[in-house]
Amino acid sequence: MTPVRFTPAELRYLRDQPLGRLATVDEQHAPQVVPVGFFVDEQTGEVSIGGIALGSTRKFRNVEATGRAALVIDDLASTDPWHVRGVEIRGPAEARRDVDPPRPGMSRELITIHPERIRSWGLSES
């Protein structure tokens, strides 16, 4: 599959957003959605999720088991007029152990998503 890349407008938006919602499923296809911090590697296009004791979480185990994840980052830019904007990222994911944490205080585990589908809405292209 051809790598999917973020547009400049998507990257600008993602730089300013502190939280997203990570969706995973376990081996029995039971869903889980949780708020997470995320980091975009603008060179590779990979999206990583870190945390405190991430390796002991259900979301980490779900990615280990299924190798898939989706992440939605969105906000309400205005209520008058109504203006919703956001980015959805889907793709294969890795539950990585013994990696350098992206921020101090985080554990040595990361979830990394390799985008195969990126969908965005309400973003300015200027």
- CATH number of the domain encompassing residue 16: 2.30.110.10
Bridge-based pairing state of the strands 109-113 and 117-121: unpaired
Q: How far apart are CA 112 and CA 9, in angstroms?
A: 22
- Count of the separate structural domains present in the chain: 1
Which secondary-structure segment (H or E) carries 70?
Answer: strand 68-79
Based on DSSP, count helices (H) and strands (E) in the chain, helices before strands: 2, 8
Indicate whether 2 belongs to any domain: no
Residues, the chain, total?
Answer: 126
For the chain, what is the mean pLDDT?
Answer: 94
Could you tell me the residue range of the domain that residue 117 belongs to? 8-121
Indicate whether 90 belongs to any domain: yes
126 residues of the chain, pLDDT tens digit each = 566 999 999 999 999 999 999 999 999 999 999 999 999 999 999 999 999 999 999 999 999 999 999 999 999 999 999 999 999 999 999 999 999 988 888 899 999 999 999 999 999 864
pTM of the model: 0.93
Q: Of 38, 44, 37, 55, which Cα lies nearest the Cα of 108?
A: 55
Indicate whether 99 belongs to any domain: yes
